Structure 1
Amino acid sequence: MVDEVGARLSIQIRPFQQTNRRALIDRLIFDDRVQHAMQSYVREHNMPREVALDQVRRYAREIVPAFNAYLYFLIGYWLAKKISRSIYRVRVGYTDDAGLASVPESATVVFVMNHRRPIDYILASYLAAEKAALSYAVGKWARIWPLQQLIRSMGAYFVRRNSKDDLYRRVLERYIGMATEAGVTQAMYPEGSLSRDGRMREPRFGVLDYMLRGFHLERDLIFVPVGLNYDRTLEDRTLLLAVEPGTRRPGVAAAFANTMKFVGNQLWLLIRS
């Protein structure tokens, strides 16, 4: 399956992505920098080494994905295509195919995208499926069964945004560094969170910083800009209310009614066309 898919991709699937998940977890746990951070954590918090090791193990299991090429390119691609096209008429304005084709095989490619709405993950995976298998950071919103298992099998890794736990941040840093060093194609949002009004938000460079800490001269780190835009998003009014001080946001029932109205209008337009 991997060989068949790899033959048509501009950027190949890396051996790191095909490595057994348990082996990756062990490699992350016993990474020299993680172990050094753990020892410092033990001294600082005056706790047994075994307790800190259990913490590191729990963080590693939480972060490390379980990439499955079959799920990504067959089931995941099919779902992403159906969801994207059922909601929007998807159009690609420009793509530099020649530029992507000329990327050295040894390079690590990072797609840098603006973050307009939650479906960005799905849309980007669908549009890039002929080019590469994307790995990206996902927040706690996706940590529900069975979505968590599906997203993890598609190569995404879970992050605790705004975590103040130094030990957790060191484990996350080393996973991102290891993936970057191994050439895994990644996608990131420099904004770090969803735009409320379509304007770029204040940049947050945590993931980018972790990528650069693992940079080596023998492997180029190539950033590819990606712009996503929508004629309309389902959450437009709700998101705009969030940035207007003193404005009451609609309840769950009102939000559901507005969503159903939008879906009904789209279905009616589809039937008429």
Structure 2
Amino acid sequence: MPMGLLALLRIVLSSSESTYHDPISTRGCPMTTSITLPLWVVLLLGLLALWAILDRLLMPSVRWFVRRSTNRIIDELNVRLQIGIQPFQRTKRQVLIDRLMYDPKVQAAADAYAQAHQVPHDVVMVTVRRYAQEIVPAFNAYIYFRVGYWLSRKVAQSLYRVRLGYADQAGLSAIAPGSTIVFVMNHRSNMDYILVAYLAADQTALSYAVGEWARIWPLQTLIRAMGAYFVRRNSRDDLYRRVLERYVGMATAGGVPQAFYPEGGLSRDGALQKPKLGLLDYMLRSFDAEDGRDLVFIPVGINYDRTLEDRTLLLSTNSQNQRSQRTGHTLNTALRFLLHHLRLMAQNRWYRFGYACVIFGTPLSLRTYVKQHAIDFRALSGEERFTRVEALGQELMQAVGSVVPVLPVSLVATVFVHTSRPLSELELKAQVYPLIQTLEAKGAHVYIPRRDQDYALTVGLRALTLRHLVDGDQGLYQARAEELPVLHYYANAISHLLPQPLSASEPVGSQEP
């Protein structure tokens, strides 16, 4: 076909007219016929010929070069990374889609759906293919470690003072080789994806479950290349859920390092939410404690001195009958936030949003867990299965909560939401310092910048006064009444670490651990 196009193009370009001699003529003389082609046809044929040249001659060389470069990068990374790139991640996306479509459990679900809805099996498989194409990522090691890591590092360090508060190195080093690693995290901001991927980039490449919000071009292409897979939140389509379940099972069995949020979404009020068990259940369904890979959960705690979406998240807690008004207010809030900070940058008065801290806790081996509790998740069904999965989910959520770092803004905000009267800086210290001691006695990880408690208090107080959440007048500081919801949001980040709920009039440092 390409050679035919080239020949035709050569004929066209040599002359716009051609002469045809018919050896048989009723008058005994040659017959001449002129053929004229429009310019657009000539251009179209030229483009087709050019595409044929690129496809047959240049593209194979380009593909070979890209594949060779990618394989070289993967080989280098597998030497450096603690958890290397798995063969599952290197498999072509179309192969994974085909494997998922023709998985026996997916086929059984497709047959059941076809019978229940009285539609042909082939029609159902079209839907299955669409689900598989939607879910399966297209991991690219070059984009993840060269482009994605550079972007995440620049963004994280530009917005925050990023700190790794603590990591259980002994526990992490004791993980058996070949285990599937799952990072279990609290979800405070969309920055969580960027922050954890940046801090874990020297260990492994993480695969995230991403909601439908990110399915916009070209963002979805970049997210797929980073190894993330898309999830429809709260979908009640049994066929879709079975396709998603089998992909998660395949990735887990393939040793793909993953990261997921048990809360299922962003915390709207700053406090830890009850775990949602869908993805966790999918990971457990085919786990074999005697054969195959171990499944190791690593609790990860995240906290910020300032969450970019705090006011937007608080708006979402309003009643449902104000949805349209809330949507408009949310867009207005986001736009004002952006314009305000652009103006500060232009005036050279912009500061980073304080500290962002991450803690990696003690790993939990599922193989050890099921042996201790005498459980085989493959054999469970119904209410018993739900009870067992919920118990593990609660234990993981408690482990995550225990490693949420305590930052300066959360400390100072906790004092202000429990004190209704103005406080001097000395009185503020008198409540913050005992609060730090109480939290440390409970085993909490308190991040003290520069190991200086005075500086930590200064940083937290400055952040709140710059945002006008706290008013300062003649050396006395008091929370603004209209900003108490925002202060509660930051205090809630560490409320689960306090011994018991505190009254609004009780000094927070007065309780014994």
What TM-score do you get using the length of structure 1 for normalisation?
0.94
1:243 aligns with 2:324: no
Match of 2:70 in 1: none
Residues 181 and 216 in structure 1, CA contact (< 8 A), matched pair in contact too: no
Alpha-carbon separation, structure 2, partners of 1:113 and 1:98:
20
CA offset at residue 6 of structure 1?
Answer: 1.4
Secondary structure of the residue that 1:226 maps to in structure 2?
strand
Match of 2:129 in 1: 57
1:255 aligns with 2:334: yes
Alpha-carbon separation, structure 1, partners of 2:185 and 2:330:
31
Residues 108 and 180 in structure 1, CA contact (< 8 A), matched pair in contact too: yes
Q: Which moved more, 1:92-101 or 1:139-148?
A: 92-101
Identity %: 59
Counterpart of 2:144, as a letter, is Y
CA offset at residue 55 of structure 1?
Answer: 0.7
Residues 10 and 101 in structure 1, CA contact (< 8 A), matched pair in contact too: no
Residues 204 and 257 in structure 2, CA contact (< 8 A), matched pair in contact too: yes
Alpha-carbon separation, structure 1, partners of 2:262 and 2:202:
24
Q: Which moved more, 1:187-196 or 1:82-91?
A: 82-91
Deviations 1:110-144 (A, max 9, x none): 00000001111111111110111101111111111
Deviations 1:85-116 (A, max 9, x none): 11111111011233323322221110000000
Counterpart of 1:58, as a letter, is R
Match of 2:295 in 1: 221
1:204 aligns with 2:312: no
CA offset at residue 265 of structure 1?
Answer: 4.4
Deviations 1:147-200 (A, max 9, x none): 100100111001111111100100000000000011110001000011012101
Alpha-carbon separation, structure 1, partners of 2:309 and 2:255:
35
Residues matched between the structures, number: 271
The correspondence for 2:234, drawn from 140, 162, 168, is 162
Residues 112 and 224 in structure 1, CA contact (< 8 A), matched pair in contact too: yes
Match of 1:136 in 2: 208
The correspondence for 2:221, drawn from 129, 132, 149, is 149
Residues 106 and 251 of structure 1: CA distance in aligned 2, closer, same or farther (over 3 Å): closer
Residues 234 and 259 in structure 1, CA contact (< 8 A), matched pair in contact too: no
CA offset at residue 269 of structure 1?
Answer: 4.4
Alpha-carbon separation, structure 2, partners of 1:110 and 1:236:
27
Counterpart of 1:128, as a letter, is A
Q: Which moved more, 1:234-243 or 1:262-271?
A: 262-271
Alpha-carbon separation, structure 2, partners of 1:252 and 1:155:
30
Secondary structure of the residue that 2:184 maps to in structure 1?
strand
Counterpart of 1:157, as a letter, is Y
Q: Which moved more, 1:247-256 or 1:125-134?
A: 247-256
Counterpart of 2:331, as a letter, is V
Secondary structure of the residue that 2:183 maps to in structure 1?
strand
Alpha-carbon separation, structure 1, partners of 2:154 and 2:269:
27
1:173 aligns with 2:262: no
Matched ranges for 1:66-145 at <5 A:
66-145=138-217
Tell me: higher relative CO, structure 1 or 2? Use CA pairs within 8 A at least 6 residues apart: 1
The correspondence for 1:230, drawn from 304, 307, 318, is 304
Residues 315 and 330 in structure 2, CA contact (< 8 A), matched pair in contact too: no
Match of 1:268 in 2: 349
Secondary structure of the residue that 2:251 maps to in structure 1?
helix
What root-mean-square deviation, in Å, do the aligned CA atoms of Structure 1 and Structure 2 show?
Answer: 1.8
Determine which structure has more spread, i.e. the larger CA radius of gyration: 2
Residues 251 and 180 of structure 1: CA distance in aligned 2, closer, same or farther (over 3 Å): closer
Residues 20 and 254 of structure 1: CA distance in aligned 2, closer, same or farther (over 3 Å): closer
Secondary structure of the residue that 2:268 maps to in structure 1?
coil
Q: Which moved more, 1:106-115 or 1:90-99?
A: 90-99
Secondary structure of the residue that 2:161 maps to in structure 1?
coil
Secondary structure of the residue that 1:229 maps to in structure 2?
strand
Residues 131 and 263 of structure 1: CA distance in aligned 2, closer, same or farther (over 3 Å): farther
Unaligned stretches of 5+ residues in structure 1: none
Alpha-carbon separation, structure 2, partners of 1:33 and 1:181:
15
Residues 135 and 156 in structure 1, CA contact (< 8 A), matched pair in contact too: yes
CA offset at residue 203 of structure 1?
Answer: 1.4
